[in-house]
Amino acid sequence: MKYLIFSDESGRWNDGEYYIRSWIRITPEQYKSLRKEVIFAKYETKIKELKWNEFVKHYEEFKSIFSFDFEAFITISKLSHFEIRKYDIINKLSSVELPTVKNKATIEKIRGRIIYAVKQELFFNYFEKQHIENSFKALLPNPSNTDYEYKVDKPQYKQWRDIAKECGISNVEIIEESENEPGIELADVVSGCIKDFVNGDSKAAEIYGEHLKPKMSDMYNHDFPNPNLIFYGDFSEEENNKLNIFR
């Protein structure tokens, strides 16, 4: 095993401005040391789970986690891009005329739930799939099946492993209890920092510049620049200018 890839998300697929995933690439040897450091700092601070907000509160105790040798890759979706796209199946479901009956409100509610479920399927099989595929190509070019293992915090989409398999990723473990997996906790810290940094938080900007920026994997890669804007062609010049803060 050459690398472990830990991933966590910040934001929800249907709420907010951005959906962000962090991908942490680290060797098993380095991870053993990182794991000890996180467990010790959690014991000292008496917190159950390390998350971005806890990292900020206990910055002095946890900042040493960035001293270990790992690389971070960031993938970002702008949720309005998903919403403004036209999908035939959504248009057809929305345009179906409902019968004039006493329980019309109930039928309308059911249709709303069906449309919600279809949108979720579309997002994760289209946008999220691009997050996964780009991470694989950027962090693990031409790997064998024994070179890596993806460890992902319990995702919002139950069939996440199936999507990963479609992207060529065969080794995936879904982590149900992230408080027991320091690699997932680190991924949460990174994705939370990126989200707050993008939203203009000065403390996140400071932490990014001092600790996270040196860990960013190949920021000037032509094919998969880091951070990686999902469906880059959808981003306007104004949106690109807003996100031109990482380098």
- Model confidence pLDDT, tens digit, residues 190-231: 999 999 999 999 999 999 999 999 999 999 988 999 999 999
Strands 15-26 and 3-12, by their bridges, are: antiparallel
- Model confidence pLDDT, tens digit, residues 72-110: 999 999 999 999 998 888 888 877 776 665 676 777 788
Tell me what the mean pLDDT of segment 20-36 comes to: 98
Tell me what the mean pLDDT of segment 17-41 comes to: 98
Contact present, 66 and 215 (Cβ < 8 Å): yes
Counting every residue, how long is the chain?
A: 247
Q: Which residue has the higher pLDDT, 93 or 184?
A: 184
Residue 104 CB neighbours (<10 A) = 11
* Structure confidence at residue 24 (pLDDT): 98
Directed axis angle between helix 182-198 and helix 28-45, to 10°?
80
pTM exceeding the 0.75 threshold for the entire prediction: yes
The residue type found at 163 is I
* Structure confidence at residue 144 (pLDDT): 80
Task: Kindly report the average pLDDT of the chain as a whole number.
Answer: 94
Residue-wise DSSP of 201-226 = -HHHHHHIIIIIGGGBS-TT-SSS-S
Among 3.30.70, 3.30.390, 3.10.20, 3.30.420, name the CATH number for the domain at 3-85+124-242: 3.30.420
* Structure confidence at residue 97 (pLDDT): 72
Residue-wise DSSP of 69-129 = --EEEEEEEEHHHHHHS--HHHHHHHHPPPP-STTHHHHHHHHHHHHHHHHHHHIIIIIHH
